[in-house]
Each structure stands twice: as structure tokens, then as C-alpha cells.
């Protein structure tokens, strides 16, 4: 009898678990669903404006009075309309105008320190952690799925353990994100009350939805994390993965909402020129730069998250005491870095779209960014991008060393180094050169006749595409490290691949030179075939290589853990460069508003409404990077504490060896 | 040595090609030496390549001299590249490290002396560097000049307001008098081709043709204005080497350089010509320009015409966003 009822009991249990999850999911998302109805009604009414229905009634009354030829005093005259600064349509001015501030304690209460820097640090730290905790669940989703569809059980277990390791790291970071968010709001409220009052007046309903979404995110995250063991088999595993999908959807919505505030500050919409809210919350959200920022940030977060997890693995690798541990963290670092780099490659294209939209929105803003005041910061950014790609290549070359047969490719590294270095030198040569007046005189003008040509976009496009193509080639070599293709067409395939890369590189260099001889608008169009060549190398050659290697002869196994420590320092450098660049780009994006809180709507009249020197900005960015890495090291340490604790309590050994990661009791 | 000159118009690619040839030459030499059993050790090969590129090629081959800030960037990047090369594989890294480890281990008399000398010289060198860095300097301070500051949204010239993002050059017209940048672009000839116009006998290409009309006629009028007012500073060839140019620091803008008017919209140039150095915005710090505000001397039409002449003469096309 017991046997007969067991499946039913199990089925019932599954049914109850799924029902409970659905109910929990509905309850968690209920606040958001309810809030959306508020948006449908028109959203925020500004700090003290009358509700939209009242305005409608007043308008109707005024129209009726006008039709009857009567003059209506007071009420009808009080209806004011405004013209949207971006959408250029009329709307009822239901909000209050943006406050006109002055440099005093009422508008800008302060300590004996620059308020802007305090806000900068609070904001940056919140963003670092926010990016990290939004990116990691996306990785978890991919890795968990990889484990579920893997036919190799040992490998599936390893993937599952890796996904769990990832989410465990992010859990403490999640709490820190919330704490830092609180600090950020307090900093806004105490140091910039007038500005924050205005912004929260405009975004009132959105801010509530944001907070409720955060609650939903927390709930789903905790169910996902703590339900790992309960939902490890069969249908429940798919439910578990679905929880991760929901988690990522909520996380993405959360980020989009936060992005809408900064996008509004840069390119306001939905308000008139006095800053009065015009009753359409969608216009306030959907500003000129919102979508490009959303795409750019998703990719940036993923690259950053991959970098941080890879750095964690590198740190654990370097501190490992056994070969098994080294093997596991070598593998973990490789997976995390690959994910990070996979999102790094499309990042420049998303950045290009963002800048294009910036130029389209305000030409001055674009020139200030890339040709004027902030142009030197872009040179620093280019340097950081170069470091990222060079480091990635370096890691791949080191990784060839842990494969039998990898040495076949290592002798050609010097040629790749040359292309990378030349590409980088062209990419980072400044248009506006820093020089003493004596050097300026000796040079005979602001532009150097040789190097000046590297300072413009045509050459730089060529430089970065050459770098990316070389990185793709390194990756293909890495894929071939311990394998030899045995397909009948391998000779033809090799020649085809070689020719493809050569032609793509020649095409890239030719177009970079040709760009000097044609109008600028045509030149901008040349970036399309250049990028197409690069993407073709990535999207055609990588699968072709895999097809050639399918069933290929293995020269030996990958010796995980037998990689030089230099490679791990390269990973740490990669992660640090990601962090630094993120801080830099955040600063650039914020600085481009110059002396505006909200561009052309609300002026910043604080004593800090000026652009910092490059040196000062670099110091603050470095401080932020240092602070983040010190605090994340603490998070990593906390993660190891938890794992060790469980290991001690463990009574049941894990049935399948899953690398050397800390093995918690009964799975987790 | 004239055959070694950098050829104008091809200099950027020439520089990269020369460097590639030199590196290839070194590789072949080293390969042959290795074959003969006297290959250059990796450590010295790395130092040699770095010194050649930075201490010789970039310093003495490229003229005019490259400012120190750029050479510092190049030096750092090339050092990183050399590190990547010498440590690309474990065997190469061990080979590169060998002389360093040998000196640090000091297993024979020579390395002992060398290590002692290095241990003495290194702190002395660092001390000298710190001392010279802290010495007060009487040189003019380095200024990070914003050459092309962001323009305002609008500019008012002779009582009329121009929106810089949308305003159009009124003389960029075809023979029928319609605004047509494609028509004027078709009559621009790149200067490096050694000629100014496609067909000297064509009234559509030659500004001095008596029958010239439309765009090309206005180019001639712009040229007359240029040679009456601008060439004293910006030079006969528009390369910033005018009669008075070297009285100023920095010297006037070189329009033939790909980094000046070729990068700008015509409306940007219109704003700069009209307002001059004195009209540079705050972003244009340190406002190192003595150009007069030409709106005080020229009419709006004259300003537009002279701009058109500059683009025609240099063979560049004004930037457009569409």
C-alpha cells in the first residue's frame, strides 16, 4: 500500500509546492500590479498640483462657459497648460515648477565638505553593488540551465554547484545594496533636499513602484536561494529555474526604473520649460536617452558582474592549498571571465548608440563629451578598454599553457602583441594633446602632423576593430588549444578562416584610411562595414571553428588548475579595470550636465556646480574603486565563512564529486 | 636622407609600416642569430625593442617632436606589450626572468658586484628622481586646452539668431540656386591630389572662370575675403603658417589638418569666426586664441563665403549629422 501511495504523495507534494510558489509569486508581484493601475491613471501629480480629473472638470466648465459666452472668473483662468520640452505637445501643468535654488543652507545644507563628493561616493557604491546583484542572477540562470540540459551528470552537478556559488556570493552583496541605497537616499534628502523634492515629486508613483519591486526582488531571491535543495529534481528544478527568470525580469524592471531618473536628469521630457509636470508619466519615463542607457547598462552590468565573480575565483585560486581547489577555481574564473567578456564585446556598440542619441538630443552635449571639456576622460576610457582587451588576450594565451598542444600557438603571440599594441596606440592617441607651451611652439600648432591623424574617429575605429579581431583570433586559438580538426574539409576550412581574417583586417585598415578622404556623414557610415567585418569574424568564424573541431582529435585533457598565477592577476586586473571604467563613465555621464541638476530645466546653484579637474575626478574614482574592492573582499570572506560552517556540520558526503568547492550539507 | 622623409598625406600609415618592418627585421635577425647559436636573450631583446621604439624611433625619427605626454603614453603601452610578449608562455617567462633571478641570487662574483651596485644605485636614482621632481620649475605651466569647446545652441550675429544644429550655409547651392551639399561636395578635390579643381576649363569647377555661377562663384568671393583678411595668420595654403602666425602661441589653426575644420559643422565654424577668441565659452579655457570677432568686420554673407572657400581649398567636407 505504501508503495502504491508514494507516487501520489510525491505528486501531491509537487503540486502543493508549485501552487505555493505561484501564490507566493502572485503575492510578491501584487503590489506592482496594483501600482500599475495608478500609472494608468496618469501617474504623479507633482508636489501640489490638482488631480487630473479636477483639471478635466475645470477645462470642461471653462469650455462650456466660453460656448455660452460667459466669463468664468477664477477657476477657468487657473487652468494652465505647458509645452513638453521634448515631445513638444501641450499638456496640463499639474506639477509645480522646478525650484530656483540659491547658494544657501536652505537649498543646499552642507557639512564642512563638498556635498557633491559625498553624494558621488554614496551613489557609486550603490551602483557597484546594484550592478553586481543584478548581473549575477543572469549568470546563475545561464549556468543552471547549462547544468540542467547537460547530459554529463558530473558536469551537470558542477554547473549546479557553480550557479549556487555565484548566488551565494551575491546574497550578502544584496543586503549591502539595500543599505547603500538607504544611505544614498539619506544623502540626497539631507544635502540636496530641494532637488530631491522636485525629482521625487515628478517620479512619485515610479518611486513607489521601485520600492515595491525591490520587495518582490528580495522575496523571489530568497525563495530561489533557500529553495535550491528542495527544488533540485524533476519539475521542481524547472520551477526553480523559472524563479530565476522571474528574478531577472524583476531585476531588469528595477534597473530600468532607476535609469529613468538619470535619463530624465540628462534629457528631460514630460515637463515644460519651467519643469512643471504635464500629467503623462510615460513621457517622463520615456526620455530621449532612456532606452540607450538601459541597453548600455544591462551589458555593462553583465561585464562588470562577470569580472567581479572572476576576481573572486582568482582570489580563491591564488589562496588555494590543494590541486582540486585550484582546478575548481581555475574553471570558475574561466567561466565567469568568458561571460564577462562575451558582454564586453557588444558593449562598445551599445555605447556608440548611446553617444549617437546624445548627439541627436543635444549637439553641445555630444561635443562636450567627445570633443570638448570631457574629451580627455574619453582618452582614459579608451585606455581602460584597451587594458580590458589586452588583459583578455593575455589570459587566453596563458590558458593555452594548461592544454597539451597549446604551445603550437604560443610562438605566434609576438605578432598578435604587435597588432594589439599598435591598435591600442592609435586608439588612445589624444586629439587634444597635453603639452607645455614650449612643446606647443616646437610642434608648430595644436595638431601633430603625424599623430594628429590618429586622434580622429576614423583611425580610432580602425584601431579598436583591429584589437577586437585579434581577441577573436586568440579565442579561436584557445578553442583549438588541445584539439586538432579531423573533418575532411579541415584544410579548406583553415585556409578559408585564415583568408577571412586577413581580408577582414585589410578591409578594416583600408576603411580607416579611406575615412580621411570623404565627408563626415559618409565616414560615420564606414563604421558599419568595419564593425560588420569584426562581427563576421566573431559570429561566423567561431561557429565554423567549433564545427571543424567537432569530433576532432584531442591532444590531451585540459589541465585545470595548471595555469600560471600571472593569469589570475590578469583576471584581477580585468575586474579592477571594469570597476574603474564604470566609475569613470558614470562620472562622465553625470558631468555632461555641467551646471544643471536637470538639463536646461533646473539649474544647480550649489557652490559645486563646476567640472572637477581630471586629476581630482580620477582620485575620487580610484577611492570608489578601492572602497568597493575592500568591501567586496569582506563579502567574499563572509561567503567562505558560511561555506566552511556548513562543511563542518556536513554528515552526508556529496555523492558526485563536484570539484573542490565548499560542499554544504545535503547539497547546500 | 631625403628618401627617408615622411611623406605628407601618408605619414600615419608610413609610421606604422616602418615600425612593423623594424620589428620584423629584429625578429629575422634574432632567428638567424639563434640558428647560429648566439640568439639574443629574451631579457635583452625586450629592453632593446623598447629602447629602439621609445628612445630612438619616436624621439628622433618623428618630426616635429612628439610632446612628452604622448611619448609617456606610448612608452607605457609598449612596455606592457613587451611584458605580454616575454611572458606569453611559461618557457619564455622563465627565460626572461633568468638574468634577473641570477643577479638576485648572486651566485658568482660578477653578479654579487652587480647586485650590490643595483641595490646602491636604485635608491640613489629614486632619490634623484624625487629631488628633481620636487625642484621648483619656472617653465610655463602645462595647459590642457579645449580646442573645440561645445558650441552654444544658438548664436546671434548682426541681430539675427542662428540655431547651430539646424542652420544652413546659404551659399552651398547648385547652379539653380538651391541648397545642395551633394553638388558642392562633388566639386571638392582632395588637396593631396596636388590640384584644387577637377577641370580648370569647367565653369562648374573653376572659381575664376568668368562664367562661374552658384556655389563655385561664391567660393571665389570667399577666397577674396580670405586673402584680404585671414591669410596673414592662417597662411596662403590655409595651413596656419601665415606671415604673423609665429607671433602667437599657439599659432593659428591649420585648416589642412584632419583635426580642425574637417571635424566641424559649418555652423560651428560660423560661430567661431563670428565671435572670435573673445567669444569662447567657459569650456574653452584657457581661451588661448587671439582671433578677432569677425562679426565686427565682416557681414554675415562674407563670413559664410569665407568658410565655404576654406572647405573648398582644403578639400574637406563640412561635418553633417544626417
Range(s) of the domain holding residue A155: 107-348+575-585+611-663
The answer to whether the peptide bond before residue A230 is cis (omega within 30 degrees of 0) is no
Tell me which of A217 and A29 has the higher pLDDT.
A217
ipTM metric: 0.82
Q: Does pLDDT of B105 surpass 80?
A: yes
Q: What is the pLDDT of residue B8?
A: 74
Cα gap A171→A129, rounded to integer Å: 11
pLDDT, tens only, B226-241: 999 999 999 999 989 8
The answer to whether position A604 is within a domain reads: no
Q: Does B13 lie at the interface with A, CB-CB under 8 angstroms? A: yes
Return the sign of the alpha-carbon dihedral for residues B258, B260, B261, B264. positive
Q: What is the pLDDT of residue B246?
A: 85
Maximum distance among all alpha carbons in chain A? Answer: 99
**Chain A (424-483) residues lying within 8 Å, Cβ to Cβ, of chain B:** 424-426, 428-456, 459
Cα gap B221→B306, rounded to integer Å: 8
* Strand (E) or helix (H) holding A603: strand A602-603
Q: A476 falls in which pLDDT band (50, 70, 90)?
A: very high
A268 and A331 both lie in a single domain: yes
Partners of A596 in the β-ladder: A603
Q: What percentage of residues in chain B have a pLDDT greater than 90?
A: 59
The answer to whether position A43 is within a domain reads: no
Q: For chain B, give the mean pLDDT.
A: 89
Please give the DSSP secondary-structure letter assigned to residue B160. Answer: E
Alpha carbon B203 to its chain centroid, in Å, reads 35
CB-count exposure of residue B286 (10 Å: 0-12, 13-18, 19+): exposed
Q: Does pLDDT of A210 surpass 60?
A: yes
Residue in A660, A643, A647 with CA at minimum distance from that of residue A168: A643
pLDDT, tens only, A328-355: 999 999 999 988 888 888 888 888 889 8
- Measured CA angle at B36 (ends B35, B39), to 5 deg: 75
**Chain B (231-250) residues lying within 8 Å, Cβ to Cβ, of chain A:** 240-241, 249-250
Q: Does A419 lie at the interface with B, CB-CB under 8 angstroms? A: no
- Give the gap in angstroms from C-alpha B97 to the nearest C-alpha of chain A: 14
Cα gap A331→A337, rounded to integer Å: 10
CB contact under 8 A, B258 and A418: no
Cα gap B42→B96, rounded to integer Å: 5
Q: Does A16 lie at the interface with B, CB-CB under 8 angstroms? A: no
Q: Does pLDDT of A84 surpass 60?
A: yes
Q: What is the pLDDT of residue A18?
A: 66
The answer to whether position A186 is within a domain reads: yes
pLDDT, tens only, A233-274: 888 899 999 999 999 999 999 999 999 999 999 999 999 999
A485 and A409 both lie in a single domain: yes
A641 and A511 both lie in a single domain: no
Q: What is the mean pLDDT of residues B157-184?
A: 89
CB contact under 8 A, B140 and A438: yes
Please list, in sequence order, all residues whose beta carbon lies within 8 angstroms of the beta carbon of residue A398, skipping any fewer than 6 positions away.
Answer: A563, A564, A566, A567, A570, B88
Q: What is the mean pLDDT of residues A592-614?
A: 92
DSSP string, B239-294: SS--TTGGGSSSPPP-TTSTTTGGGS-HHHHHHHHHHTGGG--GGGTT-------G
Q: Does A566 lie at the interface with B, CB-CB under 8 angstroms? A: yes
Q: What is the mean pLDDT of residues A129-157?
A: 90
Q: Smallest Cβ distance to B84: which of A417, A459, A518?
A: A417
**Residues of chain B neighbouring A432 (CB-CB closer than 8 A):** 144-147
Q: Which of B257, B289, B290, B316 to mutate to test the interface with A (most CBs of A within 10 A)?
A: B257
The answer to whether position A113 is within a domain reads: yes
Cα gap A439→B72, rounded to integer Å: 14
Q: What is the pLDDT of residue A652?
A: 40
- Say if CB A289 and CB A354 are below 8 A apart: yes
Q: B3 falls in which pLDDT band (50, 70, 90)?
A: low
Tell me which of A263 and A79 has the higher pLDDT.
A263
Q: What is the mean pLDDT of residues B106-132?
A: 95
Residue in B89, B28, B23 with CA at minimum distance from that of residue A412: B89
- Say if CB A375 and CB A431 are below 8 A apart: yes
Q: What is the pLDDT of residue A20?
A: 65
Q: What is the pLDDT of residue A650?
A: 38
Q: Does pLDDT of A155 surpass 90?
A: no
Q: A66 falls in which pLDDT band (50, 70, 90)?
A: low
Please give the DSSP secondary-structure letter assigned to residue A432. Answer: S
CB-count exposure of residue A513 (10 Å: 0-12, 13-18, 19+): middle
Q: In CATH, which superfamily holds the domain spanning B154-314?
A: Cytochrome c-like domain (1.10.760.10)
Return the sign of the alpha-carbon dihedral for residues A492, A498, A502, A505. positive
Q: What is the mean pLDDT of residues A129-150?
A: 91
Q: Smallest Cβ distance to A445: which of B70, B151, B251?
A: B251
- Give the gap in angstroms from C-alpha B150 to the nearest C-alpha of chain A: 5
Q: Does pLDDT of B148 surpass 90?
A: no
Partners of B173 in the β-ladder: B179
Q: Does pLDDT of A57 surpass 90?
A: no
3-class secondary structure for A214-265?
Answer: HHHHHHHHHHHHHCCCCCCCHHHHHHHHHHHHHHHHHHHHHHHHHHHHHHHH
A328 and A413 both lie in a single domain: no
- Domain count along chain A: 2
Helix, strand or coil, per DSSP, at residue A558? strand
End-to-end CA distance of chain B: 46
Please list, in sequence order, all residues whose beta carbon lies within 8 angstroms of the beta carbon of residue B318, skipping any fewer than 6 positions away.
Answer: A519, A520, B169, B181, B261, B264, B265, B266, B269, B311
A579 and A552 both lie in a single domain: no
Q: What percentage of residues in chain A have a pLDDT greater than 90?
A: 56
Cα gap A371→B268, rounded to integer Å: 13
The answer to whether position A527 is within a domain reads: yes
**Residues of chain B neighbouring A362 (CB-CB closer than 8 A):** 153
Please give the DSSP secondary-structure letter assigned to residue B295. Answer: G
CB contact under 8 A, B12 and A433: no
A152 and A290 both lie in a single domain: yes
CB-count exposure of residue A284 (10 Å: 0-12, 13-18, 19+): buried
Cα gap B322→A128, rounded to integer Å: 37
CB count in 10 Å sphere of residue A113: 9
* Strand (E) or helix (H) holding A92: strand A90-92
**Residues of chain A neighbouring B253 (CB-CB closer than 8 A):** 445-446
φ, ψ of residue B157 to 5 degrees: the values are -130, 125
Q: Smallest Cβ distance to A447: which of B68, B88, B254?
A: B254
Cα gap B81→A387, rounded to integer Å: 11
3-class secondary structure for A263-291?
Answer: HHHHCCCCECCCCCECCCHHHHHCCCCHH
* Strand (E) or helix (H) holding B219: helix B215-229
Helix, strand or coil, per DSSP, at residue A133? helix
Q: What residue ranges do the domains of chain B occupy?
A: 2-105, 154-314
Q: For chain A, give the mean pLDDT.
A: 85
**Residues of chain B neighbouring A443 (CB-CB closer than 8 A):** 64-65, 67
The answer to whether position A594 is within a domain reads: no
CB contact under 8 A, A397 and B89: yes
A533 and A580 both lie in a single domain: no
Q: Smallest Cβ distance to A450: which of B62, B92, B150?
A: B62
Q: What is the mean pLDDT of residues A207-213?
A: 91
Cα gap A120→A260, rounded to integer Å: 18
Q: Which of A85, A288, A365, A367 to mutate to test the interface with B (most CBs of B within 10 A)?
A: A367
End-to-end CA distance of chain A: 33
Tell me which of B227 and A521 has the higher pLDDT.
B227
Q: What is the pLDDT of residue B308?
A: 94
Q: Smallest Cβ distance to B88: which of A365, A397, A454?
A: A397
Q: Smallest Cβ distance to B139: which of A390, A436, A448?
A: A436
A335 and A411 both lie in a single domain: no
CB count in 10 Å sphere of residue A146: 17
Q: Does pLDDT of A41 surpass 50?
A: no
Q: Does A74 lie at the interface with B, CB-CB under 8 angstroms? A: no
CB count in 10 Å sphere of residue B120: 10
Q: Does pLDDT of A439 surpass 90?
A: no
CB count in 10 Å sphere of residue B299: 13
Partners of A598 in the β-ladder: A602
Q: What is the mean pLDDT of residues A294-310?
A: 92
- Residue A113, Ramachandran bin (φ over 0: left; ψ between -120 and 50: alpha; else beta): beta
Nearest chain A residue to B10, by CA: A450
**Residues of chain A neighbouring B139 (CB-CB closer than 8 A):** 436, 438
**Residues of chain B neighbouring A441 (CB-CB closer than 8 A):** 249-251
Q: What is the mean pLDDT of residues A301-309?
A: 91
**Chain A (174-203) residues lying within 8 Å, Cβ to Cβ, of chain B:** none
The answer to whether the peptide bond before residue B250 is cis (omega within 30 degrees of 0) is yes
The answer to whether position A366 is within a domain reads: no
- Say if CB A158 and CB A220 are below 8 A apart: no
The answer to whether position A338 is within a domain reads: yes
* Strand (E) or helix (H) holding A175: helix A153-191
Q: Does pLDDT of A40 surpass 70?
A: no
> Helix and strand tally (H, E) in chain B?
10, 2
Q: Does B286 lie at the interface with A, CB-CB under 8 angstroms? A: no
Q: Smallest Cβ distance to B12: which of A371, A440, A459?
A: A459
Residue in A279, A270, A285 with CA at minimum distance from that of residue A43: A279
- Give the gap in angstroms from C-alpha A597 to the nearest C-alpha of chain B: 18
Cα gap B236→B232, rounded to integer Å: 8
Q: A56 falls in which pLDDT band (50, 70, 90)?
A: low
Q: What is the mean pLDDT of residues A145-170?
A: 88
A344 and A474 both lie in a single domain: no
Amino acid at each position: 500500500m505504501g508503495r502504491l501511495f508514494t507516487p501520489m504523495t510525491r505528486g501531491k507534494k509537487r503540486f502543493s509546492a508549485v501552487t505555493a510558489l505561484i501564490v507566493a509569486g502572485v503575492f510578491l508581484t501584487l503590489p506592482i500590479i496594483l501600482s500599475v493601475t495608478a500609472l494608468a491613471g496618469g501617474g504623479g501629480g507633482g508636489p501640489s498640483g490638482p488631480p487630473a480629473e479636477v483639471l478635466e472638470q475645470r477645462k470642461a466648465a471653462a469650455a462650456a462657459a466660453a460656448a455660452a459666452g460667459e466669463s468664468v472668473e477664477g477657476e477657468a483662468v487657473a487652468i494652465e497648460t505647458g509645452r513638453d520640452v521634448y515631445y513638444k505637445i501641450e499638456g496640463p501643468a499639474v506639477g509645480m515648477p522646478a525650484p530656483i535654488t540659491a547658494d544657501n543652507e536652505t537649498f543646499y545644507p552642507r557639512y564642512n565638505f563638498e556635498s557633491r563628493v559625498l553624494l558621488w561616493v554614496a551613489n557609486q557604491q550603490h551602483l557597484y553593488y546594484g550592478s553586481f546583484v543584478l548581473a549575477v542572477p543572469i549568470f546563475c540562470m545561464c549556468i543552471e540551465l547549462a547544468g540542467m540540459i547537460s547530459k554529463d551528470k558530473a558536469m551537470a552537478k558542477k554547473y549546479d554547484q557553480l550557479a549556487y556559488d555565484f548566488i551565494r556570493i551575491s546574497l550578502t552583496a544584496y543586503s549591502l545594496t539595500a543599505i547603500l541605497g538607504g544611505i544614498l537616499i539619506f544623502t540626497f534628502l539631507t544635502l540636496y533636499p530641494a532637488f530631491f523634492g522636485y525629482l521625487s515629486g515628478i517620479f512619485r508613483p515610479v518611486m513607489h513602484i521601485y520600492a515595491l519591486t525591490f520587495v518582490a526582488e528580495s522575496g523571489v531571491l530568497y525563495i530561489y536561494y533557500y529553495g535550491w535543495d528542495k527544488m533540485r529534481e524533476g519539475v521542481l528544478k524547472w520551477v526553480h529555474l523559472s524563479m530565476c527568470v522571474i528574478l531577472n525580469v524583476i531585476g531588469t524592471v528595477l534597473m530600468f526604473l532607476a535609469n529613468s531618473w538619470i535619463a530624465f536628469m540628462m534629457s528631460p521630457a514630460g515637463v515644460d520649460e519651467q519643469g512643471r509636470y504635464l500629467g503623462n508619466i510615460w513621457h517622463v519615463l520615456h526620455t530621449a536617452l532612456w532606452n540607450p542607457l538601459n541597453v548600455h547598462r544591462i551589458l555593462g552590468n553583465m561585464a562588470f558582474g562577470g569580472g567581479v565573480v572572476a576576481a573572486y575565483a582568482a582570489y580563491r585560486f591564488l589562496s588555494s592549498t590543494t590541486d582540486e581547489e585550484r582546478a575548481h577555481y581555475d574553471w570558475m574564473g574561466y567561466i565567469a571571465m568568458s561571460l564577462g567578456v562575451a558582454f564586453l564585446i557588444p558593449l562598445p556598440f551599445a555605447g556608440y548608440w548611446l553617444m549617437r542619441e546624445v548627439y541627436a538630443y543635444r549637439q553641445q552635449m555630444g561635443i562636450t563629451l567627445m570633443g570638448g571639456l570631457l574629451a580627455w576622460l574619453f582618452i582614459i576610457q579608451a585606455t581602460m578598454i584597451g587594458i580590458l582587451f589586452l588583459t583578455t588576450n593575455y589570459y587566453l594565451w596563458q590558458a593555452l599553457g594548461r592544454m597539451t598542444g597549446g604551445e603550437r600557438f604560443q610562438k605566434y603571440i609576438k605578432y598578435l602583441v604587435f597588432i594589439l599594441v599598435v591598435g591600442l596606440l592609435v586608439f588612445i592617441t589624444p586629439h587634444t594633446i597635453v603639452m607645455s607651451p614650449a612643446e606647443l611652439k616646437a610642434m608648430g600648432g595644436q595638431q601633430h602632423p603625424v599623430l594628429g591623424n590618429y586622434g580622429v574617429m576614423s583611425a580610432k575605429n580602425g584601431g579598436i576593430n583591429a584589437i577586437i579581431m585579434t581577441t577573436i583570433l586568440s579565442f579561436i586559438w584557445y578553442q583549438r588549444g588541445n584539439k586538432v580538426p579531423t573533418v575532411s574539409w579541415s584544410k579548406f576550412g583553415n585556409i578559408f578562416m585564415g583568408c577571412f581574417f586577413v581580408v577582414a583586417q585589410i578591409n578594416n585598415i583600408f576603411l580607416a584610411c579611406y575615412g580621411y578622404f570623404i565627408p563626415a556623414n559618409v565616414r560615420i557610415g564606414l563604421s558599419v562595414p568595419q564593425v560588420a567585418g569584426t562581427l563576421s569574424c566573431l559570429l561566423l568564424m567561431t561557429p565554423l571553428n567549433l564545427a571543424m573541431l567537432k569530433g576532432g582529435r584531442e591532444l590531451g585533457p585540459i589541465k585545470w588548475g595548471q595555469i600560471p598565477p600571472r593569469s589570475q592577476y590578469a583576471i584581477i586586473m580585468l575586474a579592477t579595470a571594469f570597476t574603474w571604467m564604470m566609475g569613470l563613465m558614470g562620472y562622465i555621464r553625470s558631468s555632461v550636465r555641467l551646471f544643471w541638476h536637470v538639463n536646461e530645466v533646473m539649474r544647480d546653484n550649489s557652490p559645486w556646480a563646476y567640472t572637477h579637474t581630471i586629476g581630482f575626478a580620477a582620485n575620487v574614482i580610484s577611492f570608489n574603486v578601492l572602497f568597493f574592492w575592500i568591501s567586496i573582499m569582506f563579502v567574499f570572506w563572509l561567503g567562505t565563512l558560511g561555506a566552511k560552517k556548513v562543511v563542518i556540520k556536513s554528515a552526508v558526503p556529496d555523492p558526485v564529486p563536484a570539484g573542490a568547492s565548499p560542499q554544504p550539507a545535503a547539497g547546500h | 636622407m631625403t628618401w627617408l622623409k615622411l611623406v605628407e598625406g601618408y605619414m600615419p600609415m608610413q609610421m606604422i609600416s616602418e615600425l612593423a618592418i623594424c620589428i620584423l627585421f629584429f625578429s629575422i635577425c634574432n632567428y638567424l642569430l639563434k640558428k647560429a647559436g648566439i640568439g639574443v636573450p629574451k631579457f635583452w631583446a625586450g629592453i632593446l625593442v623598447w629602447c629602439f621604439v621609445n628612445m630612438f624611433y619616436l624621439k628622433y625619427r618623428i618630426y616635429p617632436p612628439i610632446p612628452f605626454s604622448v611619448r609617456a603614453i606610448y612608452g607605457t603601452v609598449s612596455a606592457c606589450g613587451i611584458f605580454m610578449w616575454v611572458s606569453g608562455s611559461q618557457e619564455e617567462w622563465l627565460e626572461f626572468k633568468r638574468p634577473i633571478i641570477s643577479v638576485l641570487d648572486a651566485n658568482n662574483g660578477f653578479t654579487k658586484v652587480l647586485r650590490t651596485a643595483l641595490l646602491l644605485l636604485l635608491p640613489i636614482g629614486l632619490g634623484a628622481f624625487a629631488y628633481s621632481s620636487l625642484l621648483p620649475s619656472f617653465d610655463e605651466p602645462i595647459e590642457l586646452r579645449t580646442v573645440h569647446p561645445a558650441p552654444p545652441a544658438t548664436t546671434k550675429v548682426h541681430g539675427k539668431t542662428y540655431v547651430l544644429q539646424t542652420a544652413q550655409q546659404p551659399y552651398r547651392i547648385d547652379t539653380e540656386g538651391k541648397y545642395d551639399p551633394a553638388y558642392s561636395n562633388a566639386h571638392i578635390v582632395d588637396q593631396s591630389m596636388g590640384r584644387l579643381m577637377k577641370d580648370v576649363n569647367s565653369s562648374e569647377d573653376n572659381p575664376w572662370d568668368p562664367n562661374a555661377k552658384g556655389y563655385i562663384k561664391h567660393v571665389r568671393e570667399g577666397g577674396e575675403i580670405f586673402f584680404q583678411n585671414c591669410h596673414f595668420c592662417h597662411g596662403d595654403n590655409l595651413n596656419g603658417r601665415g606671415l604673423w602666425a609665429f607671433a602667437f602661441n599657439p599659432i593659428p589653426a591649420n585648416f589642412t589638418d584632419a583635426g580642425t575644420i574637417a571635424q566641424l559643422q559649418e555652423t560651428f565654424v560660423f560661430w567661431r569666426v563670428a565671435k572670435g577668441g573673445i567669444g569662447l565659452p567657459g569650456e574653452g579655457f584657457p581661451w588661448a586664441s587671439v582671433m578677432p570677432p569677425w562679426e565686427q568686420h565682416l557681414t554675415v554673407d562674407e563670413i559664410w563665403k569665407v568658410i565655404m572657400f576654406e572647405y573648398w581649398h582644403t578639400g574637406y567636407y563640412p561635418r553633417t549629422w544626417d
